[in-house]
Amino acid sequence: MGTSPNFTRGRVVVVIFTDIESYRQEKSLYPKPVAQALDWLAQQDLAALKPGTYEVNGKELFAMVQEAVTAPKAERKPEHHFKYVDLQYLLEGEEVMYVGRPPRDGRAPLEENREKDIVFYDEAADELPIYLKPHQFVLLYPTDLHRPNCTESEIRTNRKVVFKIALSTLEL
């Protein structure tokens, strides 16, 4: 198992949560790869998108169409990434996504797979819920812990597009 990024207690979670209509009005504020992802999505027949991976710009930007069954928060593990920013766009359904920071006690992750660009923890600190409805999206930077596909009520199957945007393509 490799080593995780060195988090500090004061780390700020940088999450962008908005909807497609607001994005259209604020498009000039977004990094080019984010605009490229959402422009690609606007050109698709959303009802016809089948689960799978779609190349948008090679390994620098690709889309994964997913059908995921929601579960209570306790059944999902917080995760983060190293190389990619997640843009998670909900197509159908409702989802609660929890975002937070790494555990304050510095404990090691449960699982780390750099090849698959994912790290799982057993818990996160200072988690906050984000309630996603269709055509809303969340932009999560690599070290933002997030617990996707949760529900506080009924279990449902959601359709979403998860764009993977290479961190190296963003001007930070």
Q: Which domains does the chain have, with CATH numbers?
A: 15-169 (2.60.120.370)
Strand 71-72 relative to strand 145-151: parallel, antiparallel, unpaired?
parallel
Strand 79-80 relative to strand 125-132: parallel, antiparallel, unpaired?
unpaired
Strand 84-92 relative to strand 125-132: parallel, antiparallel, unpaired?
unpaired
| Six token digits for residue 110 | 């449960």
| pLDDT score for 24 | 84
* % of the chain surpassing 70 pLDDT: 91
d(CA 55, CA 120): 26
| pLDDT score for 14 | 63
**What is the average per-residue pLDDT within 88-108?**
91
DSSP conformational letter for 110: S
Count of all residues that appear for the chain in the document: 172
**Band (172; pLDDT cuts 50, 70, 90):** low
Residue 140 has pLDDT above 80, yes or no: yes
The distance from CA 49 to its chain's CA centroid, rounded to whole angstroms, is 19
Mean pLDDT value across the chain: 88
**pTM for this model (two decimals):** 0.87
